[in-house]
């Protein structure tokens, strides 16, 4: 290895394999440029920034344990010390993955999908409508209080705020329609 010390106190070390290490005069910033093009920086605030040249991906680790990965397609992943993950996709959709297995996706239009531990989904639309998906049924709740449920066997039931209930069979034929 060859070490060069500049007047400023900045040190440059070149290793036989082509790896280059630069250390600031105060020793608080270290940059290592590896022979494969990867770059590792240790910053004064103890952040470690690693750039993977082949993948064009940057991985930043903070002293508190937070890790942020930035991919070339503009996807950003945050891995929190508590195990939670937040992924921001190129279209700005945000997906949160919780340690207990729950998931939450927030779409640019304001729609939110929550996946529960039992596999059921709750979808909240920006127009005030809400859907619940389970293995047994899919139910849409409208802002006016109307609730439409489609069961896994194909039967449909619509309950209106007026008290009216309409039931359809699997072919869409009305088999019951009440008014109050």
Q: What is the pLDDT along the chain (180 residues), one digit of tens a residue?
A: 898 989 999 999 999 999 999 999 999 999 999 999 999 999 999 999 999 999 999 999 999 999 999 999 999 999 999 999 999 999 999 999 999 999 999 999 999 999 999 999 999 999 999 999 999 999 999 999 999 999 999 999 999 999 999 999 999 999 999 975
Q: How far is CA 110 from CA 78, 114, 120, in A?
A: 21, 13, 20
Q: Give CA–CA dist 60/94, Å, rounded.
A: 19
Residue 116, pLDDT score: 93
Predicted TM-score (pTM) of the model is 0.81
């Amino acid at each position: 290895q060859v070490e060069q010390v500049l007047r400023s106190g900045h040190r440059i070390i070149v290793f036989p394999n082509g790896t280059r290490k630069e250390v600031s005069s105060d020793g608080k910033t270290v940059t290592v440029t590896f022979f494969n093009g990867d770059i590792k920086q240790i910053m004064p605030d103890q952040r470690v920034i690693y750039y993977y040249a082949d993948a064009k991906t940057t991985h930043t680790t903070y002293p508190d344990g937070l890790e942020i990965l930035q991919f070339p397609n503009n996807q950003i992943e945050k891995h929190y010390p508590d195990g939670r993950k937040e992924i921001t996709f190129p279209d700005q959709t945000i997906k949160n993955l919780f340690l207990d297995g729950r998931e939450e996706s927030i779409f640019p239009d304001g729609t939110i999908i929550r996946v529960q531990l039992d596999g059921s989904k709750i979808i909240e639309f920006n127009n005030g409508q809400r859907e619940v998906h389970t293995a047994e049924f899919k139910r849409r709740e409208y802002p006016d209080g109307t609730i439409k449920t489609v069961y896994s066997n194909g039967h449909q039931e619509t309950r209106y705020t007026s008290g009216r209930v309409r039931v359809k069979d699997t072919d869409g034929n009305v088999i019951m329609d009440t008014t109050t």
